[in-house]
Structure 1
Amino acid sequence: MQGRIESIAVSRVGHVREHNEDAVFNDDERGLWLVADGMGGHAAGEVASQLAVDTVVQDMIAGDDLRLAVQRAHVVIKAAARDNPAQSGMGTTLVVVQRCRRGFRLIWSGDSRVYAWHGKGRLRQLTRDHSFVEDLIERGVLSEEEAQSHPKKNLINQALGLVELPHLNPGESYYRPSSRGGLMLCSDGVSDMLSPGELSDILTSGSDLQETAAALTRAIEGTSATDNFSFVLLAHPAPGLKGLLQQWLGR
């Protein structure tokens, strides 16, 4: 994919939690963006999320494959918990976006998400949660609306570091944009607080990333914000000749 990509990362503790267990990473030059949402309480959640981010980034810098890097992070977190009883049971969701020649590769585990948007006001979720309610939706037991208020909506069935998972099988997809727009990686502290309609209005109305990130942060802080919330926004050009022309014209 040709053309310049810009990004901005935001991570906040929210109104209820005492500390932030999320971790974010954005590197536009390398074409790598991550959001991890740790779990485990006390310091363990933030240890797991940072281990996930650090391991994947280090492996990618070393030239490893993205999927293998995510799977290795799962092993690293389990080993760290095994060596330190105080961190037993820690884990983390993870969503990673990697720039490819004609688009983006997505790898994820858990319920952190990636959304795509473009200037025509359309928002599309590119990932599917590894969660109890998502399984019910896929089986036709629950509707999307019913899932929003289900008491087990935050129960995930796959995450990095879970002892009961000997092997991690992360979700994977490829996204090739057809027009100028952007991607949002986010923890469930974002998607639980704002509806798809609210997210769409914010992401498609900002004139630049700084303004959009500020508007999104204000909107979440205007809710109960019961969880940490983190997101990475990245803006990409149109693909192909159209994108090259826009880059040449400086737009």
Structure 2
Amino acid sequence: MISILGKSNIAKRATNEDRFVADSNWGIALVADGMGGPESGEVAASIVATQITDLLDEGRPLTEAVHSAHQEVLRGAEDNRGKKGMGSTVVVAHFTDNQFELAWIGDSRAYLWDGELRQITRDHSKIEAMISRGEINYSDAIKSPQKNIINRAMGHGEFSQDDVPLLKSALFHGQKLLLCSDGLHDAVAACDIARILSTQLSSEQQLASLIAKALENGGTDNITVVLVESDTIAQENEESPILPAVSIARVDGYMEHFPA
């Protein structure tokens, strides 16, 4: 069985434009970070969360659900459910027992904790593209004022179902899958996230600690975190498929980023 818990905090914003789904029965863990200002951003994120959840519940493939939600945000801007220009990021994991598929658009992230913290989603962002082209190094990138400029979003531009990145893996006892909006990963260093996930605190307490750390560090954006754990014991010679790491962080302060 898996356990999925989520928590969100408005921080210093006027409204909370983040939305999350944390449903162990459906096997859905999702974080959507709305853009477009008060009302519009929360509308876009709500459309994304609802549409993806409904389509997964109907048995539709994950990438199709994400792409359909993108189109639904575009329609929502046209039929006055929100405002033109509204959009959202999304990162979503869909579980069948302890097996999962993971998809994302934008810079909401997924991390896998397994004694070290592995970032397994690569941001659709201007800075990530610059790093990959060798135009800026990672240590300068995390301090750049351009670090929150994303180059792909739900409800913005055009992309196909085939453009939605998809990862497949499994989660075993002792591992954790963490999904979060940039309100967390902008405010809390990856090594500090690793330290909190390494504690013996309950999942609920770890969620609270992650948000408290972001607020302590002066985080101003909405902070949303979803944490997934599994009680499935790996059998002999059974382990999770190794997912490519975008970055690795450890409790001793070691941190490395791997460009595409």
Q: How does the TM-score come out when normalised to structure 2?
A: 0.85
Q: Structure 1 unaligned runs (5+)?
A: 243-251
State whether structure 2 residue 137 is matched by structure 1 residue 137: no
For 1:208 and 1:85, how far apart are their aligned partners in 2? 39
What corresponds to 2:37 in structure 1?
A: 41
Which structure features the higher share of helix residues? 1
For 1:83 and 1:228, how far apart are their aligned partners in 2? 27
What corresponds to 1:10 in structure 2?
A: 7
Q: Contact conserved, 2:34 with 2:89, CA < 8 A, in 1?
A: yes
State whether structure 2 residue 88 is matched by structure 1 residue 92: yes
Q: Structure 2 unaligned runs (5+)?
A: 237-260
1:28 alignment partner, one of 24, 28, 34: 24
What corresponds to 1:212 in structure 2?
A: 206
In the TM superposition, 1:67-86 aligns within 5 A as: 67-84=63-80
For 2:206 and 2:178, how far apart are their aligned partners in 1? 11
Structure 1 residue ranges (4+ consecutive) displaced by more than 4 angstroms after TM superposition: none
Aligned length: 236
Cα distance per residue 1:93-146 (max 9 Å; x no partner): 00000114663211000000000112x3x1000100000010111122222111
1:126–1:166 distance in 2 versus 1, CA, 3 Å:
closer
For 1:148 and 1:199, how far apart are their aligned partners in 2? 16
Q: CA deviation at 1:226?
A: 1.4
For 2:145 and 2:155, how far apart are their aligned partners in 1? 24
For 2:70 and 2:203, how far apart are their aligned partners in 1? 32
RMSD (Å) for aligned C-alpha atoms? 1.9
Please state whether the residue corresponding to 1:183 is helix, strand or coil. strand
What corresponds to 2:158 in structure 1?
A: 165
Cα distance per residue 1:189-235 (max 9 Å; x no partner): 00000011111001111331122112112111212111011010111
For 2:233 and 2:83, how far apart are their aligned partners in 1? 45
What corresponds to 2:169 in structure 1?
A: 175
What corresponds to 2:241 in structure 1?
A: none
Q: Contact conserved, 2:98 with 2:230, CA < 8 A, in 1?
A: no
For 2:17 and 2:204, how far apart are their aligned partners in 1? 24
Between the aligned residues of both structures, percent identity stands at 34
Please state whether the residue corresponding to 1:240 is helix, strand or coil. coil
For 2:218 and 2:126, how far apart are their aligned partners in 1? 24
What corresponds to 1:117 in structure 2?
A: 113
1:186–1:85 distance in 2 versus 1, CA, 3 Å:
closer
For 2:226 and 2:131, how far apart are their aligned partners in 1? 27
